[in-house]
Every structure is written in C-alpha cells, then in structure tokens.
Amino acid sequence: MIKVGLILGIAGACRTDELVNLTVDDIEDVCSSLIVKIPNTKTKIPRIFVVTDVGNMLELFRKYLSLRPPHVKHKRLFLYYKAGKCSSQLVGKNTMGKIPSVVASYLKLPDAACYTGHCLQRSSETLLADAGVDITTIKRHAGWKSTTVAEGYVENSIENKTKIANQVLVGTTISAITKTVNVSESNIPSNINFENCTNVTYNLNVNK
C-alpha cells in the first residue's frame, strides 16, 4: 500500500484525501501506463495524470491490485495490506498521511515524524520546478486556481536558483550549447579545446 500510495501521490501531486477516495474505476491500465482520474478535488478542478512504465511502478500497482479480495463490495482502491494479503478494511486519511514519515524513517532522515501527507504533493511540484517546468504546467498538474503557489515553487527551485546565481556571479545565464562541426578526412583538427563551458554537445561529422 505504501509503495503504490507513494507512486500515485508523487506522480499526480495528490492530496491525502484524493488518494483515500481513489477507486479502482478511476484508474485505467493501458499496458504501457496508467491513466488516473481525480474527479473530486479540493479546488473543484478534476484532474487526470499518467503513471508511465518507469522502473517497476506498473508492476507494483498490478501486484497490489491482484491481491484485492474478490468479496470486497466497495471500489475504494486502498485497502490494508498485511502479511502478503489485502483485507477489506479501508485505508483512512491518517494512515495515508503517514506515508511520507514512513519513507523518511526508512531513509533515516532527521525529524522523520515531521513529514506529513502534504509532502507528496509538495515533492511532486518541487520535482517539476527543479526540472524547469513552467508555472502554467505546475498549476495545471496540481489543479490550482491561483498561480501564487506555483510561482513559489519555481522561485525556490534549485534550477531557478542556479540561473540566478549565474546571472549574479557571471553576469549572464549559462544555457545549453550545441555545436555541430563538419570536416573532411584531410583536415581533421589535431586539437579541440573547451574552456568555461557547461552542457556542451559536440557533434563531429567526418565526410569521407
């Protein structure tokens, strides 16, 4: 349960109650990915997100679903999982909210108890911001009506802080550079030197 909750929570920037209320009908398995619908959200904006086949995420989800007892009458996704079996008992908001603290304890992070259910959504948005995703995408991903929160994630992202540092200390924004050089076999340069470069892609095409 913890692993599946963690996967869905971070992939979809889910709030604790959104995970608790997920049903088996809200998730469509299309072989190469999972299409997850969040019909009822805090902001009243329904969302859809996708979990792709990264690592063994889909395998973990399918295994968890396969352990679902056939006699369960309700369709809520998350049931208590113990000793290799799922019971018919529903997972509540408090249990779901403890997933981040359980993970923090496993990773031996300090103050593990301080990691609450909100960490799932926050981790998702932080990962997007650090990847350089724009405010509009972050806003839509989390289902926010206002851009204020999304702006906070972008402003505090490591990627954005790095750009600011380069602008302050170097005086410019260092961006990726792609350099393509075409030479003949007879005039291949003997030395190619790079200085003060980051994120450089050098393609050498030899024309015979």
Strands 79-82 and 85-90: antiparallel
The alpha carbon dihedral of 145, 147, 153, 154 has a sign of positive
- Within 10 angstroms of residue 31's Cβ, the number of other Cβ atoms is 7
Whole-model pTM: value is: 0.71
In the predicted model, residues of the chain with pLDDT beneath 50 are 174
Which residue(s) pair with 207 in the sheet? 184
What's residue 77's pLDDT? 93
CA distance 54 to 113: 29
The confidence score (pLDDT) of residue 50 equals: 92
